[in-house]
Amino acid sequence: MKYALNGITELKLQPPAMLHYAQSLRIRSWVQQAVEELFASYSRVRDWTDEDFMLLGRSVPTLVRAFDALQYQYRRYAAVPPRMPEPDLLSSCLSSKHDTCKRVWTDGWCKKIARDILHPVTPLSLSKVVDLVIETPFPGMTDCCKNNLVTSLSELNAFQFDVHLREQVVEEICRLHGISGPDPTLST
């Protein structure tokens, strides 16, 4: 048990079983880890088995609602490329050239970023969109416009949506199962 309390991920359980033990043993840090795993690989409710539903127990409605909200947000953000900032007066990007920046951005968003966000098996987490934009080449976009774009995307709270949602789910599951205060400690 002492070994187990170090971290539930070390037990190599499937996420629904992780949450099941986290709930019955009332260990908040385990709930956090289990919810993280569920968001990473169990967000497609239609793939859940009867056993998964049983293990997730009273947390099922919370999780189903959260994953539905997540899908909606992913589709919404993928559908429209975020606005590309206009170059400022001191910028090295002239307005004639900037039309190319905007076209390249819209193309790149639709062909790469949106496709990754909407990937049916391994959708890109919204919180990783900025990193993907940084590492994706947009041939024809000026360096200063790419930098402006990355700065403006980093300031968009929208891409933190799944992080906030995960925190809300942890809070709700802990409340449902009467988990409050710090994790239990072992007397050795």
- Distance (Å, rounded) from C-alpha 113 to C-alpha 8? 33
In whole angstroms, the minimum distance from the beta carbon of 106 to Zn ion comes to 13
In whole angstroms, the minimum distance from the beta carbon of 152 to Zn ion comes to 13
- Distance (Å, rounded) from C-alpha 16 to C-alpha 13? 8
Of 70 and 149, nearer to Zn ion (C-beta) is 149
Of 84 and 170, nearer to Zn ion (C-beta) is 84
N- to C-terminal Cα separation, the chain: 11
DSSP class of residue 153 equals H
Of 96 and 180, nearer to Zn ion (C-beta) is 96
In whole angstroms, the minimum distance from the beta carbon of 87 to Zn ion comes to 5
Q: Contact positions toward Zn ion, by CB under 5 A?
A: 93, 98, 101, 142, 145
Q: What is the DSSP string of 110-142?
A: IIIIHHHHT-SSSPPPGGGHHHHHHHS--TT--
In whole angstroms, the minimum distance from the beta carbon of 32 to Zn ion comes to 42
Of 125 and 142, nearer to Zn ion (C-beta) is 142
